[in-house]
Amino acid sequence: MAKRKIIKIDNKKCNGCGLCIPNCPEGALKVIDGKVRLVSDLFCDGLGACIGHCPRGAITIEERQAGEYDETRVMRNIVKQGVNVIRAHLEHLKGHGEHKLLKQALEYLKEKGIEDPVGGGEEHPGHKHGVSGCPGSRMMDLRGKDAPADKAAPGGSGPIARGVSRLGQWPVQIHLVPVNAPYFDGADLLVAADCVPFAYADFHEDFLKGKVLLIGCPKLDDAHVYQDKIAQILKNNNIRSVTCAHMEVPCCFGLVNLIKTAIETSGKKIPFKDITIGIRGGKLQ
């Protein structure tokens, strides 16, 4: 066994609804005795496709000793479930930039004489902006011509953009965003604590405009997982700058520290800016 990332299910939070199971084409999850269980480490790739589909927040990612993920065993299980499940799995791997596993999966299909439903692992025609096996976490680049135009100010005195969304990509949660997403190339990165957009009324125009967004909570989620993910993003992409927007409460400052560590881990010199928001909505020094 080796130490690696793998999902963790909080039995106290899990109510056994099973909404996560259809979003795990690998077959790692089953409802047993009224709770969702991880039935085999070998089937869990640790990418967290199931996380965004749990209404109770019972699923997180941890790093622990676990059996090595086995793509061949996963494919044996997946091909039994039909072409749609095969497609979902391949798109899931591609959406998370897992090219090595994707290659193994395609080799298995070729060996068994099964047609590749996404065409050589390339982007599926129905997914213009990227692919992922999970509809809620499918990568989308919302920049360019699809971006909303600024609203004109009354009387033609100049542009005013209040009420205009500046979100340029999807997904935004740190766990779900693909490490090698195309919108990271040459990007100014904004890493925001979950509470910031609610506390700061003009978040979109003052902070988000022109930036790629990542959100997370260093108190409720695994900060080490966040740190590793951000470090990978910085290392594998041309990131021009990183801005951290967090709340004034002590636990939120952990986001600043993990980002600084991630920058150091990446081995790159990337400009960093720290913004603190007060619980009453103002920007603090």
261: enclosing H helix or E strand = helix 254-266
The first and second tokens of residue 30, run together, are 């089953």
**pLDDT tens-digit profile of 187-198?**
999 999 999 999
Look-up of token digits 């909570």: 217
Cβ burial 166-200 (10 Å sphere, 16+ → b, else e):
bbbbbbbbbbbbbbbbebbeebebbbbbbbbbebb
Residue 59: name the closest of 29, 89, 39 by CA.
29
Span 69-93, pLDDT tens digits: 888 888 888 888 788 778 878 877 7
Helix (H, G, I), strand (E, B), or coil: what is residue 232? helix
Q: Give dist(CA 158, CA 147) in Å, integer.
A: 19
Q: In the structure encoding, which two tokens stand for residue 173, read together?
A: 């949660």
Is-above-0.85 flag for pTM?
Answer: no
**How many other CB atoms sit within 10 Å of the CB of residue 35?**
17
Spatial CA neighbour of 167 closest among 216, 196, 128, 208: 208
Length of the chain: 285
Q: How confident is the model at residue 133 (pLDDT cuts 50, 70, 90)?
A: very low
pLDDT at 135: 55
At 142-187, the pLDDT tens digits run 777 444 555 544 444 444 455 678 998 888 998 888 887 888 989 9
Per-residue pLDDT, 130: 39
Return the DSSP state at 147: S
The per-residue pLDDT for 156 is 46
**What confidence score (pLDDT) does residue 152 get?**
47
E-assigned strand segments in 10-144: 29-32, 35-38, 59-66, 140-141
In the chain, the domains with their CATH numbers are: 2-111 (3.30.70.20), 139-284 (3.40.50)
Angle at 134 between CA 104 and CA 21, to 5 degrees: 90
Helix ranges (H only) for 6-116 are 71-79, 83-95, 99-111
